[in-house]
Amino acid sequence: MPKILKLPKLFSTMLVSTSPFNFDATMHKPSHFPSSDNIWEKGRYWITMVWQRQTVGLKLENKGTVARPKIELSVHSLKPVNKEELLPEIEWRFNLKTDLSEFYRKFKDDKYLKEPIKKWKGMRPVAANFLYETLIIYIVLQNATVRRTVQMLENLFDSFGQKVEFDGKILSAFWDAKKLDKIPEQKLRDLKLGYRAKTIKKLSSQFSEGKIYELTMRKMTKDEVRKEALKIYGIGPASVEYLLFEDFYHYDAFDTVPPWEQKIYSKLLYNKKLVSADKILRDMHKRYGKWSKLAIHYIWEDLFWKRKTRRIDWLEKEIRL
DNA sequence: CATCAGGGCCCTG
DNA sequence: CAGGGCCCTGAT
């Protein structure tokens, strides 16, 4: 077991967000699998970050309301960090500058969005990790059940990551891509990564050789990001589908429906057993246009928030735990 | 027990 | 452009 690094608090500051901002629905996505690099409690969120080659602990606290958002950020680290450089990155990660007013105006009375908007107005997608880390997550999602995904990621954290303690929480942090580049494939296979061992090694070397420029990709159009992402070994259409929306904030990027999601949309939107992916895509694009993926996000997360408080029998069957 | 299909992707033919 | 193979795990 690696030793736990204690990170002292460096500073705290207030973050400004556009309004409305829903703290809990933005920080916490109930449809996502749990990962030891972050903890959410109502009004509070802790996450680790590897920033300029050192491990940093972030705590975000809700100090405002949906209409008048105020977020207190505290930064924990062993060494000083450059605040002027860090803060814009935090703003991007938590998507604090986006303007969704048109979306709410257009769809507040929509049959499917009325309820989710009422409950979750101010919810946004967040790219809580760096691109390399996000892609690791997408790779362990591929062809695996939730339990197995969690096991693979936690095995990676235990072997290559760093455990840190700050603000009374113990969390894992990601590793530098260079670290995995040099690891023999068999070592990764021993962590039950299976054929993903090769994928993760190649991904790590593509990043450590500096072949992928996340900051440039943030400025690209949707199609450019897609093209760029598909060049990455092990990243295909299903991973890109998540990437475009959750990490690059393209609210219209709704092009693929994975089989398990297809079953859930069929029941939820059509009350049918199975509607073709093409029809779902066509209908959603027609109805929501450039907001299609954001609309789906509201519908989807609303369902998983409900699942937290009450059992939904038909849904349990579709989630492969 | 054996078999098989996944919350995909790459590679081959 | 279709389909086989890949690591593992849980379902049957």
What's the rounded Cα separation, in Å, for the pair A65 and A71? 10
A48 pLDDT tier (thresholds 50, 70, 90): very high
Report yes or no: A221 and A209 within 8 Å, Cβ to Cβ: no
Dist. CA A103–CA A79, nearest whole Å: 42
Q: Return d(Cα A173, Cα A194) in angstroms, integer.
A: 22
Q: Report the pLDDT value the prediction gives residue A273, as an integer from 0 to 100.
A: 85
Residue nearest to nucleotide B10 (CA to C1'): A234
Bases of strand B lying below 7 A from some protein CB:
6-11
Cα(A36)–Cα(A50) distance, integer angstroms: 14
Residue A90 CA and nucleotide C1 C1' are separated, in Å, by 43
- The set of strand C positions with any atom below 7 Å of a protein CB reads 6-10
Nearest-angstrom CA–CA distance, A265 and A262: 5
Percentage with pLDDT > 90 across chain A = 85
How do the residues of chain A divide into helix, strand and coil, expressed in percent and rounded to 5?
50, 15, 40
What span, in angstroms and rounded, lies between the C-alpha atoms of A41 and A60?
Answer: 11
Token pair of A11, please?
């500073």
Which of residues A210 and A101 earns the better pLDDT score? Answer: A101
Closest nt to residue A189, judged CA to C1': C7
* Chain A 262-281 residues whose Cβ is under 7 Å from strand C: none
Contacts of A252 (CB under 8 A, 6+ apart): A222, A289, A290, A291, A292, A293
What residues are paired with A73 via a beta bridge? A13, A60
Report whether pLDDT(A236) > 70. Answer: yes
What are A276's two structure tokens?
């073709």
Euclidean distance between CA atoms A247 and A249, whole angstroms: 6
Q: What is the mean pLDDT of residues A3-14?
A: 97
**pTM, entire model:** 0.96
Average pLDDT for A116-143: 96
Q: For residue A196, how far is the Cα from the chain centroid?
A: 20
Residue at minimal CA–C1' distance from C8?
A194
Task: Provide the strand spans (E) within chain A.
Answer: 4-6, 9-15, 38-41, 44-51, 54-62, 71-76, 162-166, 169-173
CA distance A193 to A215: 29
Length A234 CA → B9 C1' (Å): 6
* Residue A147 contacts residue A154 (beta carbons within 8 Å): no
Question: CA–C1' span, A56 to B10, in Å?
Answer: 36
Q: Which nucleotide is nearest to A194 (CA to C1')?
A: C7
pLDDT tens digits, residue range A249-290? Answer: 999 999 999 888 888 999 999 998 888 888 999 999 999 999
A142 touches strand C (CB under 7 A): no
Through-space separation of residue A235 CA and nucleotide B8 C1' in angstroms: 9
Name A254's Cβ contacts closer than 8 Å, sequence gap at least 6.
Answer: A241, A245, A281, A284, A285, A292, A293, A296
Question: Integer distance in angstroms from CA A13 to C1' B6?
Answer: 46
Give the count of beta carbons closer than 10 Å to the beta carbon of residue A106. Answer: 14
Mean of per-residue pLDDT scores for chain A: 94
Instruction: Report pLDDT digits (tens) over A185-223.
Output: 999 999 999 999 999 999 999 999 988 889 999 999 999
Nearest nucleotide (C1') to alpha carbon of A142: B8
- What is the pLDDT at residue A1? 53
Task: Give strand letter and number of the nucleotide nearest A193 (CA to C1').
Answer: C7
Closest among A305, A257, A311, A251 to A282, alpha carbons compared: A257
Q: What is the mean pLDDT of residues A12-39?
A: 96
Task: Work out if A147's Cβ lies within 7 angstroms of strand C.
Answer: yes
Question: Chain centroid to CA A75: how far?
Answer: 20
pLDDT beyond 60 at A40: yes
